[in-house]
Structure formats: structure tokens, C-alpha cells
Chain A
Amino acid sequence: MEITRRGFLTLSGALGSGVALSSLGVDLGPAKAYAAEINKMQRVMAARQVTTVCCYCSVGCGLICSVDRNTGKIFNIEGDPEHPINEGSLCAKGAGFFDLTEANKYRLRKVLYRAPMSDRWEEKNWDWALERIARLVKDTRDKGFVTRNAKGELVNRCETIGHLGSSNVDNEECWLMSVACRSMGLVYIDHQARV
């Protein structure tokens, strides 16, 4: 579904209130919009509210996700008025946070694979991809592994695999990547903090 401002309002408010009136020839535009807003407010009040932190700059603004209790889907995200830094306000990107949820049609949903010389992606499952990636990592590492450098010093490193990213994942994920890279002997390790 293409998300536009209008689409967003439609998505978050139920249609149908006042349908009967339309047969009387009354312009229902403003009334519908008003009803939709009321409806959305009611939904927000009835929703499960989950706090999160913005994923753009490093100010760390708080947001509240409203989750529909029946579907488990997020239908609204707005600034957290209790948060001491942003006090409910958000910038243009933060205000559009909802467009990063699954409502965005461009979100990746499947494991994609591009074979050598191919001009397209193919869908794969996780097991297949993990097995193939592990094979490539091991073969590359074993082939290019440097036990001792030119001076004969013990270095135990893999110079043929690089790792980039990421400053937009959580701390626990960063730590796992940092440690996993070292266990494999990688030295070309870098991310957005440098760029």
C-alpha cells in the first residue's frame, strides 16, 4: 500500500461513519475527516502504547507507538510528551517514523539472493542463505588467513573479509558484531562513526 498523508488518515480512521447521510446530498468531506480524527483518537486511547527511541540523529527523542490490540499492528507513532529531551516534539523525519513500519511497501520482507552474473534477485529461505554464507565465510577465511605477518609475528588475522556497520542498530547488536568480527580474526572493521 502506498502511504500518503491522505492514505495515512484513511488507514488510521475507520470509513463508513455517516454513509447514510451521503444519500441526502450533504457534503460529507469535512464531517468524514472529523469523524476519522475522533475515531483515531479513540483507537489511540484503546491501544497498547509502547515507547521507543527515534532512529535518525543522536538526540535520542522518545516516541510512543500505538499498537492495535487485536491485530498487533502499529497504527500511529508520535512524540512522547513525557520524554525530557523532546517533550513530545519531533522533527520532520521523526514525525514520519510510521513510514518505517511494515506499512511501507518497500520494506524488505524476504531473504534475497543474487547469483554470479545474474541480473535479478531471487527469494530464498533463511536456512539456505545461512548455510551458503557460512560456507563462503569459512572458505574465504581459511584461504586468506594470515597466521604470521611479514616480520614473522603472530597476528592470527583475516585480511580478506571486511565488515561495515552499523550505527543504526542497538547497543547489544553492536557488541555482538564487534565480538563476532574479532573471533573470526577480521581487521577491516568500520562503520558510520568514521564517515
Chain B
Amino acid sequence: MTNHYIDLKNSDVILIMGSNAAEHHPIAFKWILRAKEQNGARLIHVDPRYTRTSARCDYHVPLRSGTDIAFLGGMIHYILTNKKEFRDYVVNYTNASFIVSEDFYFKDGLFSGYDSKARKYSKDTWVFEKDAKGIPVRDMTLTHPRCVFQLLKKHYSRYTMEKVASITGVSKEDLTKVYAEYSATGVKDKAGTVCYALGWTHHTTGSQIIRTMSIIQLLLGNMGICGGGVNALRGEPNVQGSTDHCILYGNLPGYLKMPVASQDTLTKYIEKCTPKSSDPQSANYYQNYPKFFVSFLKSMFHDKATKENGFGYSWLPKMDDGAAYSLMHLFDEMYKGKIKGLFAVGTDPSVSSPNTAKVRKALENLDWLVGENIFDNETYCFWKGPGVDPAKVKTEVFLLPASASMEKEGSQSNSGRWVQWKYKAAEAPGDAIPVGEITIKILDAVRALYAKEGGKCPDPILNLKWDYKDSKGRFDVLKVAKQINGHFLKDTVIEDKAKGTKTEFKKGQLVPTFDMLADDGSTASGNWIMAGSFDAAGNNKMMKRGKDDPTGLGLYPNWSFAWPVNRRIIYNRASCDLNGKPYNPKRKLLEWTGETWVGDVPDGPWPPQADKQKGKYPFIMKPDGLGALFGPGMAEGPFPEHYEPLEGPLSKNPLSGQLINPAIKFFNSDLDKVANADAKFPYVCTTYSCTEHWCSGALTRWQAWLLEAMPELYVEIGEPLAKEKGIQNGERVRVSSVRGNVECVAMVTKRFRPFLVEGKTVHQVGLPFNYGWLHPKDGGDSTNFLTPTVGDANTFCPEYKAFMVNVTKL
């Protein structure tokens, strides 16, 4: 989230799209309802299915799964045609005025630079014209035919009401209503926000859906303000923290980039990863990248990381250039027999990964599997699953008992970036220990073997700083937390020239902010964005429980720690005009007094933009300092474009000759079948959760109270389709895709209604993804037998939300 949960109360219009907040984030929804109670906010729900969220919103607009970009692209068209944009903000705080290279073009669904064989773009033409000093050329009148604003207008001029209605199945009346209400927030004193969840990320175009909304928020001046932003309601307790610490193939803790093979030296890596800007008004905060990265290497290898050995850079594994190693790649390689061992910590991919049949077959190829969890699940005992003969499965499996969340101390980060400390309430049962302690003990044992026997590339294992146990040999969580925050490795004097102060820090003292990290090996920080979670005296800010709310906006600056540097709303300098005065004086998030900023922790201490000498642009993490309406970082183009899902009801994209996302990767095993616009699988299908279960159900299905409320798998079918198929409510049915099928109870409902798409009736059905064969015994198996192995072109988030099925009566 750019903002945070309580801030939802400050909004005037809340668009909930790709989320069923009332059922899956009930407490977040309380703040959404408070916006309605306190500000008379309008609540709009756009979703294929009518849910309890729809019931509490002002109205619900049904939309065919996988057509979100068409819907939102239509909104961009509406905003620009009706001049609803917040002009001052667009001109000054976005790259609308930048002039794009004359070699850039868009034609029939493809941008310039496409290589159809590699399914990849060369981004050479997705660049801005620059002046002699290397600063992007701008046209502040936004009239130059190649300025971003005009190109944006041209691109979305194709998204007419008629076209969008025909693609999405939403009526023109509903489109107009949503567009008009939402774009009315493009003024100084109104805030519009969006709440999304897996309904946006689980698509082959997921990242670009979110980018389309980001463009809308920039056009309306809704970024960086109270009650605005782009807000992901994420689904796991520490998914923010696990992402921040990057248990992800492509990043190292703090979103540092995982090195690739061509970056064979630290110097080359740093050169590639550190963005440059010639514009004196751009803070280009990532120019500090070398400090964050070297401090990370020091946190890993400590004394063993020296200037001479590139701080141990060569010990880090390198990915092949352009290669990806995501969950889907992992199971694809495992299916081919190339993966021999797997750690599965607090996870149940045998239920939660797409194309379950392939995943379960792949697991049988493992030599060994190590599971760590509080309950057993379908992954750990795959060897006795349906249709599997244990006598033929060679895999050695270890299932290690872990402490539950309330049985251990540590911090968790919520979606609003609040890092909250939690305490240990009781001992774990039996031999269970915290996952942190399991990790320490396994690597201790591996290190002992390498120390004794030697082996392949032992240096990174043996040189790793790995002393995170207390005197009793137990996991010392505070020691790790401090290592993440970071330390000075020698006595240091920090001089603040602006303030004219000098502060001394002793060797071993905690670094109070990432501003003080260095690239010469004199500081260590395990994750730079967490530097400042402790103060220099060692006080743990994550433990703070202060309830004061000086702005009255619900920032609670003394409750826990929010990264970065306790900033509660990021990009907050954009809430003020060029002189640092709040656009909306009623919700004064930040204000420049002439000497300093007051309110939230500002995005940098510099004066506002009007000060041509010292002032900086507000989007400090972007090299150009401005919000990116034109986003050349994306895999499938700088402007989002509507493509149909890999499996959909149409054989032609109504907007162009390019049916599906041109940059997605295909997996080609014999179990990766696809059936697009196939009469055998005529219905659009989507998947979701329910209030009583969580994710794969691997925790909640073991709880009698929750299971009693939601005991088994069902498929929701609209009344017209049920009538057509002769299916009664409560009857058992089979739902099948070209990949597999599940049997479940039919829930005939008014919540799904047919869509009119390109003049034809399209039915949609949906199932929850919370069930698996292990427990309860008759609760149904994984919905993911139906889903395809395909994902977003940028992130490889799997497509769980739009694919094609058939439904038959059993």
C-alpha cells in the first residue's frame, strides 16, 4: 500500500476492484465503511461476482474476468476527453510533458521493438528526448504531438464506451456512472482511492492492470495524498515483510537486484543498478544504491567481506541474464526431473500452485523434501495422495514441527508497511520450535559438514555471519532484528552540513537511518529499508504503542515503525503544491513552513519544487523524480494495453490483432494444455477465497469452528446457466478444464449473471481455492486442477482468475 489501512477513512470515493474486501479483509472494510459514515464517501464495487462487498457498497458493477485494463483504459479515455485531470499536478508532478523518441510507435496491439520469436521487446525506442545536459526535454503546454500526455490520449482514444462495453460486458450506463464519479476526485479537495487484491494480480496482465490504475491516480492527483494512493489489500500476515526481505528469486533484501551472470564484478553490477539523473531537481534517491548493497554484503559476510574481494560479491549466486526462477519455473523443472531437493516452509503448493496435476507429479521426482509447519498438508504427504502409490515414490520427506505465531517473538509487517512487534505468549507444544531456529539449525549442520569435508564453493557458506543463537542455543530474534537494521562497523562521525551538526557513533552502535549507510564497508545493514527500526541507543521502534494522532488523520506515528523512516504515506510531498502548501487544507498531511516540513515524515528533507536551487520533485525513487504516466520498465509496453487471457471466450481481441499478452512465457510440458475459445469449455471461470478459510486452507481446515461454517468445495453458477444445464442448487457437479477436473456442490445463485460480450452471451462461474484432499476427508480437492501454468509477463504471478471450464451434472 502507498497509504495504510486507517487512511481509507479519509477517502471521498473508494473503488474496490479485484477485491472482496468485506469478506477477505473485514477489518480493513471497517475503515472503508467509516469513510462512508464520516465523509459520505461513495463506495463502488467492480467485480465479476456480487459479494458481501457489493452489498455494502453504493453499487456493484459486474465485469468479465480478465478485462480490467479495458475497463480502466476506458476511464483514462473519459478523463482526458472530458478534461477531468488535475492539470497542475499532471504538468508538474508527472512525466506528461516529456517528449518521447520519434522512433517509438504503437501499431495493432504491439509497441515498437517487438521480437515475436523471443516474445520479448527491445526497449531502445521507449525513451525520452534529452537536451545537451542529458535532462529530458519537456513541453509544459502538453501539446507536442510526441509528449507523453498526447501519446497517452491517442493510445486510449481507442477505448471508447462502445468498445469497452463490448469487451467487458459492462453496460455503457454503468461505465459512465463509475467513470464520472471516480474522475470527480481530480480536484484539490477530493481524494479517490482504489483497493485491490488478488483479483488484479492473478492475471497474465496483472502488473499492467495496477499500472493502468496508477496512471488514473496520477492524472487525478490522487497519489501521495490522504485518502488516495494505490492500495493492495494483501492476503498473508507477513507477506509485506517476506517481500521486503525478498524470499524471491529476483531480489535481495530491500528490493536490491539479484545479480545476473553478465555482471561479473561488483563494479559492473553497481554501474548497472545505480540510476543516473542529470536533473538537479531530481533527488534520484537510488543513487545511494551502492551504499545499500555494500551494507547488505557486509551484513552477510561481515569481516570476510573486504574491499579487496568486492565485499564477497562473487560468492552470491548469479542468475542467467533474462532467466526467471519463479514457483512455476521451479515446478516445471521439477516435473522434468531436474530439481532434487525442496524446502517447503509454511506453504502448501500441492493445493495452491496452478495446474495441480503437474505439481503433484513433479513432487514425485524429488529425492528429498523438507517441510516446516504447524500442521501437515497435501504437499508434505503427497506420497499418499489420491492416485499415488507410496511404494513407487522414492522421496525422503521430513516434516518439522514449528511454533505457531503466538508462540514466538518477532515482527510482522502489514500491508500499510507498519512493522509491529509481537511477543511470545506460550511455549510451543512438543518438539516444535520457531522456523527461524529451524533455519539456523539446518544451516549449522550444513556448515559443519562443509567445514569438515570441504565441497563445492564452500566460501559463501562458511564465511556467512551466522551467530544468531542466544547463550542457551535458542533463536535470538533481537539479534537478527538488529542485524537487519544495521550497525556502524567503526567509530563514525556523521556531519549534517544543512543543520551544521556533527554526531558521533561508536563501532557496533545501531544505524538510526539509512541515510547514514556507506559504500566503503564501514556499515552493515541486512535490509536498508528497515534501517531506523531501532534508534542508535538500541530502542526497538517496532514495539511502540503510542496512541497519539497529532494530525487527526489516523497516522499514529508512534504506533510501531513504518518503513521507510516511519513515513506513513509515501510520495507525500505530492500532497502539496509547488510551494509546499497542502492542496487540500482539510486533510493537511504535510506542509512546508519555509524552513521545514511539518506533518508526516516527508519524502526527503529538501524544500518544495518551486525552489529551483534546493527544491526537489516529489517522486524521489524515480530517476526523473516524477510520476510515470509513460513507464518503460514494463515487459509489455510503456502504456498498458488490453489483451485477452490465455484462455478466454474470444478468438479475436476486439481492440487489436494481438489476442494475448505478447510478452508472456509459455510452459510446454505435456500437462500444460490450453483451450481458448473452445466449445468443450465454454464458461469463464474464476477462483477466490471465503471469510472462514485462509489461502489453501492449510491452517483453517484443521479448525473445527471454521470448517463447520465452510465445510466443502462448491461452484457458484448463475441461475440462467443452471437452468440451461438442468442443475439444481445443492446437486453434485464436475467442473473441468482441459487440464483436469474437480467434483463439488453446485451453488445456484443470483450472484453471477451472464455477460454480453461481442454480441454473445458469456457465462461465468467461480470456485473457492481453500480445499484439499487431506482434511476434511470429503471436502473436495484443489481447485487448481483447473488452472493453467501461465503468469504475468513481469512478475510470473499465476493466472488464477480467468480460464475456461465446463460444468456437468454428476
Contacts and interface: CB of A to CB of B under 8 A. Distances in A.
Interface of A: 2-5, 50-63, 65, 67, 72-74, 77, 82, 84-86, 89-94, 96-97, 99-102, 104, 106-119, 121, 125-126, 129-138, 140-145, 147, 149, 151, 153-195
22 contacts: A85-B5, A104-B703, A109-B430, A117-B391, A117-B392, A119-B383, A142-B455, A156-B315, A166-B435, A168-B237, A169-B434, A172-B410, A172-B480, A184-B446, A185-B457, A188-B249, A188-B333, A189-B247, A189-B248, A190-B247, A192-B235, A194-B327
Contacts of A195: 327, 349, 352-353, 797-798, 800
B352 A166 contact: no
Contact of A157 (B317, B384, B414, B468): B317
Contacts of A73: 426
Interface residues of B, number: 165
A141 to B, nearest CB: 7
Contacts of B691: 91-93
A172 B411 contact: yes
B179 interface: no
A160 B410 contact: no
Interface stretch (B53-61, B129-137, B416-424): B416-424
B25 A189 contact: no
A158 B284 CA distance: 35
Nearest to B430: A109
Contacts of A93: 691-694, 700, 706
Contacts of B247: 163, 165-166, 174, 177-178, 181, 189-191, 193
B399 A138 contact: no
Given A51-B422, A166-B347, A57 B456 contact: no
Interface in B354-381: 367-368, 370, 372-376, 381
B464 interface: yes
Given A99-B703, A178-B253, A91 B435 contact: no
B447 to A, nearest CB: 9
Contacts of A143: 340
A172 B452 CA distance: 29
B481 interface: yes
Nearest to A8: B705
A183 B253 CA distance: 13
A84 to B, nearest CB: 5
The 7 A-B residue pairs whose C-beta atoms are closest, nearest first, are A109-B430, A170-B410, A60-B414, A165-B345, A166-B346, A134-B445, A157-B317
Nearest to B527: A175
Contact of A164 (B238, B347, B800): B347
Contact of A173 (B5, B407, B410, B429): B410
A167 B348 CA distance: 12
Contact of A56 (B237, B329, B392): B237
B126 interface: no
Given A157-B318, A160-B338, A107 B375 contact: yes
A138 B340 CA distance: 12
B426 A72 contact: yes
A171 B450 CA distance: 28
B425 interface: yes
A58 B691 CA distance: 14
Contacts of B757: none
A140 B457 contact: no
Interface stretch (B79-87, B436-444, B633-641): B436-444
B320 interface: yes
A192 B670 CA distance: 26
B101 interface: no
B30 A89 contact: yes
A58 B317 contact: no
Contacts of B423: 50-52
Contact of A187 (B234, B325, B800): B325
Contact of B426 (A74, A132, A177, A183): A74
B461 interface: yes
A134 B238 CA distance: 28
A168 B236 contact: yes
B16 to A, nearest CB: 15
Contacts of B425: 50, 52, 65, 67, 74
B547 A82 contact: yes
A120 to B, nearest CB: 8
B182 interface: no
B318 A153 contact: yes
B730 interface: no
A183 B236 contact: no
B491 interface: no
A171 B481 contact: yes
B442 A175 contact: no
Given A151-B261, A163-B247, A168-B346, A100 B415 contact: no
